[in-house]
């Protein structure tokens, strides 16, 4: 296993005898004939990176295209990065007849989607990406995927229940890295995907995208402008804002073969683009849109998560279900409960006795950390222990607070009470005076120094 990691992820090289020992003579010859193993001097190395994701094996071009044999005349195919796995973990997996995977790259979203849909169509503008995606489908024994060369929707036909997209999304002063760069403001491809999606979605269709989020405070109005699909629930999941320095440095810093002068020139170009394009902050996250019945009202909500390293799609799907329950106003007999994944952290000053209270999850990236007031702490504890019915607990004063906590996933509505910790029911909801919850930014970001070497 260690040697396979060195070969397929760390660009290590081995003698022919060692690789024949690992693979056997027949498989070694097959890998060579396919061009997956190539010579590096007297040794042999892999032409590809091979990632293990969600029970699948996904081949791509190397993350770092830095060696002489890495040079190719085509555009490279993006490695499996934190945005790739993040969309896998975040996008709800609704059963579907047809799914469209835009900017499919290596095909990772299509391969995962093949498990919950009858047919997946993957589209990419890069011919090399289409070949990689088809290879990966064969590698994993998947037969219900079809990959087509094209520019977004131009080669598709019919309607899709779900559209997935991991497009180029980085605000960039150049277009030299096609799987990364999306215009000086980073939204050229994103806006087109959202705007044109209505023409390709089946009734009650869904659109799930991973992207940089430029000036995230404006996203409610941006989606109002871009989205043409009628009534929909729109959810934006963000991670952390990056200012000009935090954003620019990782994108221009090449870890190898760059002089100090070259680095300074490139950094100036990225900083200038940041300022002249009207960027104030660049976040990273997910845009999730679910069409609703035309009699329903549209909604918008934005909240913070940790970029997921494990599946959270069931929690995202629960958000949309809870949103519809509230919309239908048939929740009086539902019970309020608190997410079992959350914990309280209390810090008490040794001198003043003043308490600071945080709400957090030690292992669920769907939640960030929340600073809460003493009154909020008491209310959540009451709900956690009593699990009251909505009709007996919700009032004109606390109703909006309860909605907010449900949208964050902290509370949820259940048709029946779960195990009650204390055998009691609240008679009078506590006062809302002093209720406070502050959502803290995550510390995670998908952009690593030298991530985009090519």
CATH of the domain at 176: 3.40.50.150
Residues 407 and 430 placed together within one structural domain of the fold: yes
Q: Give me the domain span that covers residue 210.
A: 82-242+281-326
Residues 117 and 11 placed together within one structural domain of the fold: no
Residues 186 and 217 placed together within one structural domain of the fold: yes
Residues 50 and 88 placed together within one structural domain of the fold: no
Let me know if residue 77 belongs to a domain.
no
Let me know if residue 118 belongs to a domain.
yes
Let me know if residue 448 belongs to a domain.
no
Contact between residue 410 and residue 372 where contact means Cβ atoms under 8 Å apart:
no
Q: CB neighbours (10 Å) of residue 39?
A: 12
Residues 412 and 293 placed together within one structural domain of the fold: no
Let me know if residue 316 belongs to a domain.
yes
Contact between residue 355 and residue 348 where contact means Cβ atoms under 8 Å apart:
yes
Token pair 């050229």 in the structure block, residue:
188
Let me know if residue 30 belongs to a domain.
yes
Residues 147 and 285 placed together within one structural domain of the fold: yes
Torsion of CA 234, 235, 240, 241, to 10 degrees: 20
Let me know if residue 210 belongs to a domain.
yes
Predicted pLDDT at 250: 82
Residues 174 and 296 placed together within one structural domain of the fold: yes
Residues 61 and 190 placed together within one structural domain of the fold: no
Torsion of CA 166, 168, 170, 176, to 10 degrees: 150
Boundary-marking domain end, from 326, 357, 381: 326
Residues 101 and 210 placed together within one structural domain of the fold: yes
Going edge to edge, which strands form the sheet with 437-439?
A: 343-348, 355-360, 370-372, 437-439
Q: CB neighbours (10 Å) of residue 38?
A: 15
Residues 66 and 183 placed together within one structural domain of the fold: no
DSSP character for 217?
G
Query: Looking at per-residue confidence, does 172 or 24 come out higher?
Result: 24
Let me know if residue 252 belongs to a domain.
no
Instruction: Tell me what the mean pLDDT of segment 17-36 comes to.
Output: 96
pLDDT band of residue 180 (cuts 50, 70, 90) is confident
Predicted pLDDT at 425: 52
Let me know if residue 445 belongs to a domain.
no
Residues 162 and 96 placed together within one structural domain of the fold: yes
Predicted pLDDT at 160: 98
Residues 17 and 121 placed together within one structural domain of the fold: no
Boundary-marking domain end, from 326, 354, 380: 326
Predicted pLDDT at 428: 64
Q: Which two tokens stand for residue 356?
A: 């600071």
| CA nearest to 380, candidates 362, 398, 354, 356 | 398
Instruction: Tell me what the mean pLDDT of segment 61-80 comes to.
Output: 88
Question: If you average pLDDT over every residue of the chain, what do you get?
Answer: 91
Domain count along the chain:
3
CA–CA dist 128, 171 (Å, integer): 24
Is residue 255 scored above 90 in pLDDT? no
């Amino acid at each position: 296993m260690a040697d396979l990691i060195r070969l397929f992820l760390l660009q290590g090289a081995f003698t022919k005898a060692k690789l024949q020992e690992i693979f056997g003579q027949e498989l070694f010859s097959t890998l060579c004939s396919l061009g997956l193993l190539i010579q590096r001097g007297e040794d042999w190395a892999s032409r590809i990176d091979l990632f293990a994701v969600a029970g699948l094996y996904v081949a791509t071009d190397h993350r770092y295209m830095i060696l002489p044999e890495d040079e190719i005349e085509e555009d490279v195919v993006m490695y499996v990065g934190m945005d790739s796995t993040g969309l896998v973990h975040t996008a709800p997996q609704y059963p579907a007849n047809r799914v469209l995977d835009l900017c499919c790259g290596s095909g990772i979203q299509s391969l995962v989607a093949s498990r919950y849909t009858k047919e997946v169509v993957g589209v990419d503008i890069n011919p090399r990406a289409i070949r990689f995606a088809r290879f990966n489908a064969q590698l994993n024994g998947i037969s219900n995927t079809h990959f087509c060369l094209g520019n977004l929707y131009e080669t598709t036909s019919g309607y899709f229940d779900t559209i997935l997209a991991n497009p180029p999304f980085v605000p960039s002063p150049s277009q030299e890295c096609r799987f990364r760069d999306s215009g000086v403001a980073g939204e050229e491809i994103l806006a087109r995907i959202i705007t044109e999606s209505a023409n390709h979605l089946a009734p009650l269709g869904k659109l799930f995208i991973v992207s940089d989020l430029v000036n995230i405070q404006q996203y409610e109005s941006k989606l109002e402008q871009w989205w043409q699909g009628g009534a929909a629930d729109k959810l934006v999941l963000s991670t952390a804002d990056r200012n000009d320095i935090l954003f620019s440095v990782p994108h221009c810093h090449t870890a190898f073969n760059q002089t100090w002068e070259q680095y300074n020139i490139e950094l100036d170009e990225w900083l200038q683009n940041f300022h002249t394009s009207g960027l104030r902050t660049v976040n990273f996250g997910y845009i999730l849109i679910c069409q609703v019945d035309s009699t329903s009202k549209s909604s918008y909500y934005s909240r913070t998560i940790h970029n997921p390293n494990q599946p959270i799609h069931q929690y995202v799907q629960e958000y949309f279900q809870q949103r519809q329950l509230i919309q239908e106003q048939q929740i009086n007999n539902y019970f309020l409960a608190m997410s079992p994944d959350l914990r309280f952290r209390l810090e008490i000053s040794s001198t003043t006795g003043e308490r600071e209270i945080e709400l957090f999850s030690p292992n669920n990236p769907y939640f960030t950390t929340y600073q809460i007031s003493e009154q909020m702490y008491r209310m959540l504890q009451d709900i956690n222990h009593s699990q009251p019915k909505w009709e007996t607990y919700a009032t004109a004063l606390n109703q909006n607070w309860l909605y907010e906590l449900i949208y964050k996933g902290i509370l949820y509505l259940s048709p029946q009470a779960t195990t009650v910790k204390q055998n009691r029911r609240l008679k009078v909801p506590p006062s809302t005076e002093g209720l406070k919850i502050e959502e803290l930014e995550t510390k995670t970001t998908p952009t690593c120094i030298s991530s985009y070497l090519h």
